[in-house]
Amino acid sequence: MAKKGKRLRKVYEGLDTASEHELADAVKAIKAGATAKFDETVEVSVNLGVDPRHADQMVRGVVSLPHGTGKSLRVAVFAKDAKAEEAKAAGADVVGAEDLMEAIQGGEINFDRCIATPDMMAIVGRLGRVLGPRGLMPNPKLGTVTPNVAEAVKAAKAGQVEFRVEKAGIVHAGVGKASFTEQAIGENVKAFVDALNKAKPSGAKGTYLKRVSLSSTMGPGLRVTVGSVVG
């Protein structure tokens, strides 16, 4: 195991990383431990009682965090004519059609979210092997295939978070910055967990929310009492 540096050793002092903590206490400790020279991201990880290898146990969705993520997302939009102008006016960073498809095929993927109007899916469909593995493929269930591109762009820019369970049954996401208030981080965490509960698949059996952990980019992870993040 790698040795902890002086900064991390100080952060870990007095922290009980083996026990569960109430959400408010965990947030306070995480903020206090975020001592890097940049504004660290606060991340939540949730272990779910699902096996995503089965279609009826897949967990995927989107949630608008009440206080945003503190991160500026770059948004690409596949649209033409009036819809393209709407996307640009709403703040989209990249807008195009066949030209955007060719740029992506050439390796230019300088965006974090991809939105498309329904009529563009014939073009976007050709990029499945490129965008799919990166989690960037537009999807009507996530609101990223929509005629209301302006609304989708504004939601993405405002701090909307997409989530998808990984093979081990874990979902993780950034839920704010260490500079956020304790209340803002706590409310974001609860909103994220609430979205996970609403996305509970029909095939989930037994305990659904098994474990919740909170950490910062460069700090320790703390286990959080499940009951304190629900409701």
Q: If you average pLDDT over residues 45-52, what whole number do you get?
A: 95
115 forms bridges with which residues in the sheet?
77
Over 50: is that where the pLDDT of 33 sits?
yes
The per-residue pLDDT for range 153-164, each reduced to its tens digit, is 999 998 889 899
pLDDT of 1 reads 43
Burial (CB count <10 Å: 0-12, 13-18, 19+), residue 208: middle
Over 90: is that where the pLDDT of 3 sits?
no
The per-residue pLDDT for range 169-216, each reduced to its tens digit, is 999 999 999 999 999 999 999 999 999 999 999 999 899 999 999 999
pLDDT of 158 reads 87
In this prediction, residue 19 has a pLDDT band, given cuts at 50, 70 and 90, of confident
Over 50: is that where the pLDDT of 29 sits?
yes
Helices assigned H by DSSP within the chain: 6-12, 23-33, 81-90, 98-105, 121-124, 128-131, 149-157, 182-198
According to CATH, the superfamily of the domain at 17-69+160-228 is Ribosomal protein L1/L10, rRNA-binding domain (3.30.190.20)
Domain extent listing, the chain: 17-69+160-228, 75-157
pLDDT of 16 reads 72
The alpha carbon dihedral of 149, 143, 113, 74 has a sign of: positive
pLDDT of 114 reads 97
pLDDT of 72 reads 86
- In the chain, % of residues over pLDDT 70: 93
Q: 17-69+160-228 with 75-157: one CATH topology?
A: no
Over 70: is that where the pLDDT of 8 sits?
no
How would you classify the pairing of strands 160-164 and 60-64? Answer: antiparallel
Mean pLDDT, all residues of the chain: 92
pLDDT of 51 reads 93
Angle, in degrees to the nearest 10, between helices 81-90 and 149-157: 20
Over 90: is that where the pLDDT of 132 sits?
yes
Over 80: is that where the pLDDT of 13 sits?
no
Over 90: is that where the pLDDT of 74 sits?
yes
Fold entry, domain 75-157 = Rossmann fold (3.40.50)
In this prediction, residue 71 has a pLDDT band, given cuts at 50, 70 and 90, of confident
